[in-house]
Amino acid sequence: MLYSKLFSKSLKNVKKYDSLNATLLQKGGFIDQVMAGVYSYLPLGLRVLRKIEHIVRSEMDAIGGQEILMPVLHPKKNWEKTNRWDNMDILFKLKGAGDKDFALGPTHEEIVTPLAQKMVFSYKDLPVVVYQIQDKFRNEPRAKSGILRGREFIMKDMYSFHTSEKDMDVFYEQVERAYETIWQRLGIDKITLKTYASGGSFSKYSHEYQTLCDTGEDIIYICDKCNVAINKEIVSEHKACIQCGNKDLTEKKAIEAGNIFKLKTKFSDAFNFKFTDKDGKEKGVEMGCFGLGVTRVMGILAECFNDDKGLIWPESVSPYKVHLIGLNLEDEEIKQKTFDVYEKLQSAGVDVLFDDRENMSAGEKFADADLVGITWRAVSSKRTGDKIEVKKRRDAEGKLMPIQDLLKMVAD
């Protein structure tokens, strides 16, 4: 992609937004705030989002999740059945033609449960696991954390259906491993902790995945003895580590990246969703729910990986792999050489953003590259001769090398 043609230029002088992630992502040209809590994703931002989605999707597929797509508009009657129409503050409600009542889905138990009920009859149809990557809505009174807590946001929500709690438990552990792999692929495994949280009315505990971050709005507690993480709600109740009883807990700020729940038969009961077991008896279907905030993860990466010059994307979700900067492009020979580098990278299947703007200083181009935060920066100029200067966004110093050496490092 030629930077000169890119729709979303980076902007040096944007106002300060409601959060670090919004400010950095607006500056880099990744998102545009339509109103508080509602954003457009620009070409660079959408590329990051799609790479995050790809990682999440591949790990959900790997544990047998089948992708579906459920709607945003939900009928009121489904939410009445689960007793949540009047009991969920953040539920957006609206009226359509003919005085029909709809909700905008903040979660999809109300849709997926009656759907699975049409497909599952006996123990032979179980377990079954479906998921979607889809737009969700929350009627937030104050949306002030950029894309970390939007009125509209994208989530991966997965729902599993089982014959027994035991079968549910086995799958729950598979999901834990899949989530660990996702954090690893996103480069946040070292700072993302499985954290004990309340199980709500239906289960003893659920788990949150909390990413440690100084700008986080959640508080978690880490047990100095057994290294377990526990959320605020649980600590207020137990005043100690729930695993070893230790009262020396270290307080940390964090952002919730995902949460996983055992729902037992709460929702299957609400819809009278039963299956016939091996013994011929009708039983309630055990359910699990596994959330992961896709736009939120993008926000977390922005909050965690940056410096005073801009964003620093993990390579797995970097909008492009290489940010090629052409200097002295007014010189025809150098221009030709630099376009050759661009084509060589593209022919090797490498994503490249090529800053082809003429009559612009090195300093301005470097500053833009730092704002955008692409993993590899390659500079071609009069000074670099028949080589290019390569540096990673994190590094201070670049290194002159032949184009072949860069290709070896970045080609998949």
Binding stretches for its own copies (CB under 8 A):
5-9, 32, 34-35, 38-43, 45-46, 49, 64, 66-75, 92-94, 96-98, 104, 111, 115-116, 118-119, 128, 130, 135, 137, 139-141, 151-152
Q: How far is the CB of 132 from its own copies (least distance, A)?
A: 9
User: Which one, of 360, 372, 370, lies nearest residue 396 by Cα?
Assistant: 370
247-265 burial, b at 16+ Cβ within 10 Å, e below that, comes to eebeebebbbbbbbbbbbb
Q: How far is the CB of 358 from its own copies (least distance, A)?
A: 11
Closer Cβ to its own copies, 52 or 222, answer by number: 52
Distance CA 339, CA 358 (A): 13
- What is the DSSP code string of 306-339? EETTEE---GGG-SSSEEEEE-STTSHHHHHHHH
Quote the Cα angle for 26-31-34, to 5°.
Answer: 100
Q: How far is the CB of 307 from its own copies (least distance, A)?
A: 25
Closer Cβ to its own copies, 5 or 166, answer by number: 5
Closer Cβ to its own copies, 36 or 409, answer by number: 36
Q: How far is the CB of 375 from its own copies (least distance, A)?
A: 21
Q: How far is the CB of 35 from its own copies (least distance, A)?
A: 5
Closer Cβ to its own copies, 116 or 378, answer by number: 116
Q: How far is the CB of 370 from its own copies (least distance, A)?
A: 20
- Please name the residues in contact with 412: beta carbons below 8 A apart, sequence gap of 6 or more: 349, 350
Closer Cβ to its own copies, 46 or 407, answer by number: 46
Q: What is the dihedral of CA 125, 131, 137, 141, to 10 degrees?
A: 90
Closer Cβ to its own copies, 98 or 363, answer by number: 98
Closer Cβ to its own copies, 99 or 173, answer by number: 99
DSSP-derived 3-state class of residue 128: strand
Q: How far is the CB of 101 from its own copies (least distance, A)?
A: 11
Taking residue 193's Cβ as centre, other Cβ atoms within 10 Å add up to 21
212-222 burial, b at 16+ Cβ within 10 Å, e below that, comes to bbeebebebbb
Distance CA 282, CA 186 (A): 43
The encoded tokens of residue 402 equal 């032949």
